[in-house]
Structure 1
Amino acid sequence: MPDAEQPRERQARRDARDLPDAQENVTDAQESDAARRRRRAQFLRELHEAKQLRDRVQPRRARAARMRQQMRMRTFRW
């Protein structure tokens, strides 16, 4: 049954080839995680700024949204 052994051999070769790159993958993952957090923080800052701008431009809608939020919080059950 040589067919049954081929996937194992391929996996063994793949594992042996990936061993030196394991350290690089860890550092890349850490850098990409930090970059993702930076991008997320930037996005949240811009979103907050856009919401503030919308509230200034449309005060009636902003007031209605605040009232709806207050009603939601009043009727929320713990």
Structure 2
Amino acid sequence: MPAATDPPGAPATTPAPLPSPLPDADATAEGTPADSTDDPTDEGATGGENDAARRRRRAQFLRELNEAKELRDRVQPRRARAARMRQAMRMRTFRW
């Protein structure tokens, strides 16, 4: 007996499979990033929310950068002193 098919315009007898919350192995192989997240601040958010999120990320980055510089200065005091001297020379020779 031939397989039963739905007539055109009639609802399907088998429901469509639900999308998986996990990324497909095929989708990752095609070049789409596997770790892409749906960040609401990136899409569909107002400019204020994007600006606030960007400022928070920037402030965090600057805090970590300053911390790394301080650590480097403590670990390499000779290099830090030389850098301070070069900066002082630049400031003395700067012309308005």
Taking structure 2 as the reference length, the TM-score comes to 0.53
The match for 1:75 is 93
The match for 2:57 is 39
Higher Cα Rg, which structure:
2
Identity of aligned residues (%): 81
Corresponding residue pairs, total: 54
Aligned residue among 55, 66, 75 for 2:84: 66
| Displaced runs of 4 or more, over 4 A | none
Cα RMSD of the aligned pairs, angstroms, is 1.7
Q: Distance in 2 between matches of 1:75 and 1:46?
A: 31
Letter in 1 for 2:82: A
Structure 2 segments unaligned to the other structure (5+ residues): 1-42
Structure 1 segments unaligned to the other structure (5+ residues): 1-24
Q: Distance in 1 between matches of 2:93 and 2:50?
A: 42
Q: Distance in 2 between matches of 1:59 and 1:48?
A: 16
Taking structure 1 as the reference length, the TM-score comes to 0.64
Q: Distance in 2 between matches of 1:71 and 1:28?
A: 46
